[in-house]
Structure 1
Amino acid sequence: MITPAFAQSAGGAAGASDIILQVAPFGLILIIMYFLIIRPQQKRAKEHADLLKNIRRGDMVVMTGGLIGKVSKISDEAEVELEIAPNVKVRVVRTMIAEVRSKGEPVKDQA
């Protein structure tokens, strides 16, 4: 009678360690995915947000659709006015700017 009870308790403890050994590879895969995929994407998103926040008049920008233009006016937090050709200006959403090619001159205050 004592032997079957002892075997059941030992089997229960061995079952818990088997579960841990089966789940450990999935945990390892999740950790690797975090460092190879999620973390770099968050870093790129933060850099893009900083880029959009620091856009000013005179910057040459490239839109996500491939349109290249010069920032002529910052309308508000969400919109920017681009000059894509002489005397041709369009309003675009700021989040659609993919990159800033060249920085413009700082705006000189008229005193």
Structure 2
Amino acid sequence: MENMTQLIFPLALVGIFYFLLIRPQQKKMKEHQDMVSSLRRGDQVVTQGGLIGKVDKVKEGENEVVVDLGEGVKVRVVQATIATVVAKTDPAK
């Protein structure tokens, strides 16, 4: 009986850490991956570096996007460094 009570406390701590720390982080990572994978031409995005621009081209196999920052300035950005999508474009019909 005493061994059982000694096991309950560490198992409870593992459960608490999982539900309070690990699970929310995994959920946030999944949402970010879904957002990045659904990028389309014309979406207005903010990079982790703070640059705001519109997606000009999505390079599928290379995990890169070309972002137009305005006035003909285009930069290649790794998809994972897109922080947020400010405005989504409507899908083409």
TM-score by length of 2: 0.89
Structure 2 residue aligned with 1:57: 41
Q: Helix, strand or coil: the match of 2:55? A: strand
Q: How does 1:12-27 map to 2 (within 5 A)?
A: 17-27=1-11
Structure 1: 5+ residue runs without aligned partners?
1-16
**C-alpha displacement at 1:23, in angstroms?**
2.4
**C-alpha displacement at 1:48, in angstroms?**
0.8
Structure 2: 5+ residue runs without aligned partners?
none
Q: How does 1:1-111 map to 2 (within 5 A)?
A: 17-77=1-61, 78-107=63-92
Tell which deviates more after alignment, 35-44 or 98-107. Answer: 98-107
Structure-1 separation of matches of 2:54 and 2:92:
14
**C-alpha displacement at 1:19, in angstroms?**
2.4
- The structure with the larger Rg is 1
Structure-1 separation of matches of 2:91 and 2:2:
65
Matched residue pairs, number?
A: 92
TM-score by length of 1: 0.76
**C-alpha displacement at 1:39, in angstroms?**
1.0
**C-alpha displacement at 1:20, in angstroms?**
2.1
**What percentage of aligned pairs have identical amino acids?**
47
Please identify which structure carries the higher helix content: 1
Please identify which structure carries the higher strand content: 2
Higher relative contact order (CA 8 A, sep 6+): 2
Structure-1 separation of matches of 2:91 and 2:54:
14
**C-alpha displacement at 1:105, in angstroms?**
3.8
**C-alpha displacement at 1:85, in angstroms?**
2.0
Structure-1 separation of matches of 2:90 and 2:8:
55
